[in-house]
Amino acid sequence: MSVSPVSSPLPLLFGKARRPLGWQGYTTEVPEGWNPGKYSGTRARGDLRVDDENGMRLELRWEESQKTPDVEKSVANFLQTLQKDAKKRKSAFQIVENPHIVSRGRKKKEQVTSFGWIGEAKSEASCGFGAAWFCPTCDRVTFAHIVGQPNEKVAKIERLAQEVLGPLECHGEGGWDSWSFFDLQIEIPSEFELGRAQILLSKIEMEWVRKRPVGLYGWGRRAERLKLWRFPAASALLSDIQLEDWTRFNLLNTHKQLVYPNPAEAGRVNGHDALIYGGKIKDPRQAVPVWFFDKLLRRVTPKPILHVWDCPLSNRIWALESEVSKANLHVGRQALDSLQCH
């Protein structure tokens, strides 16, 4: 039997099972079981809370800043607020001096400021370690914070914060962002803003929207959209109904904006058979201007396209709808190709 070479590195302490996390341009890897709990805002300003089965784990806040901000001062203010709250509750609170969570020399990050605090061991948030910085590429101040749960060892949380926040990036590359959570991963152009998002046990529904252009080019156009659905327990959902009928009842008949006439074309996605639908705008007040300006400006607005497929490997039904301009037809297909369904 061969002995494993001494030189091969062992995984990091919390490097066991991990999954990518991607949200509003941010990407890192988190332990498995960490998923978005609460989220709000936009790419310009918002927050995301990531929970594990016991409660809060990671808090991420960001805000666009036109002027160069004073990150160190904001961090000091944040710690002061925590300290005041602790004093009011008469509970223990101690600031950790100079922790090293995110390296000051991280490329493209300015004013990297690490921080840490230790509170009452029994309390819901027993300690916290994090970092804040300003990024001149995405113009955002980022504030990222890992929180300890009751009676967790402080050193463990500090280590966890280093592992999760050390590699945290605040913007995607080449104009595309990775969105990943709940074993879902898809690439979406950064110019598409997150619209409606519903993350439920029974389904995930996410929509990204790019506003219609202003001026002549935007006349009669609708916003460009990408919309993703994921439904669990496909084998149960499809136990006595064909995918095409299921799609009609669950996606097409309830669609507020578009109609998808039969029949569906057959196609392939990620090695699975897929149904492909070409859509039409339901509301004539929206459909007529598109038709009119298409004629007037001699342009062609492509039909919205819906792909629906059953992935037996993940036991999920997936659907991706794209409504894009002719120049962006590649976007719909590339988002589809980037999606990992299993």
| Residues at the contact surface with Zn ion, assessed by CB under 5 A | 135, 137-138, 170-171, 270, 311, 313, 341-342
Q: Smallest distance from the beta carbon of 342 to Zn ion, in angstroms?
A: 3
Amino acid identity at 38: K
Question: Do 274 and 307 contact (CB within 8 A), yes or no?
Answer: yes
Distance CA 127, CA 124 (A): 9
In the complex with Zn ion, the residue whose CB is nearer, 104 or 342, is: 342
Q: Smallest distance from the beta carbon of 308 to Zn ion, in angstroms?
A: 13
Residue spans of beta strands (DSSP E) within the chain: 18-23, 26-31, 35-41, 45-52, 55-64, 94-96, 110-118, 127-135, 140-147, 176-181, 184-189, 193-199, 204-210, 224-231, 258-259, 265-269, 272-278, 280-281, 305-311, 316-323
Question: Do 119 and 77 contact (CB within 8 A), yes or no?
Answer: no
Distance CA 186, CA 179 (A): 5
Residue 303: closest CA among 251, 265, 341: 265
Q: Smallest distance from the beta carbon of 168 to Zn ion, in angstroms?
A: 10
Q: Smallest distance from the beta carbon of 314 to Zn ion, in angstroms?
A: 6
Question: Burial letters for 220-256: b for 16+ Cβ neighbours within 10 Å, e otherwise?
Answer: bbbebbbbbbbbbebeebbeeeebeebbbebbbeeee
| Cα 181 to the center of its chain, rounded Å | 6
In the complex with Zn ion, the residue whose CB is nearer, 85 or 173, is: 173
Token pair in block for residue 151? 């009676």
Q: Smallest distance from the beta carbon of 311 to Zn ion, in angstroms?
A: 3
Token pair in block for residue 145? 């914070």
In the complex with Zn ion, the residue whose CB is nearer, 25 or 279, is: 25
In the complex with Zn ion, the residue whose CB is nearer, 25 or 304, is: 25
Q: Smallest distance from the beta carbon of 63 to Zn ion, in angstroms?
A: 12
In the complex with Zn ion, the residue whose CB is nearer, 171 or 225, is: 171
Question: Do 113 and 103 contact (CB within 8 A), yes or no?
Answer: no
Q: Smallest distance from the beta carbon of 169 to Zn ion, in angstroms?
A: 7
Residue 159 burial class via C-beta count within 10 angstroms: exposed 0-12, middle 13-18, buried 19 and up: middle
In the complex with Zn ion, the residue whose CB is nearer, 60 or 127, is: 60
In the complex with Zn ion, the residue whose CB is nearer, 208 or 318, is: 318
In the complex with Zn ion, the residue whose CB is nearer, 135 or 186, is: 135
Q: Smallest distance from the beta carbon of 301 to Zn ion, in angstroms?
A: 31
User: Any bridge partners for residue 178, and if so which?
Assistant: 187
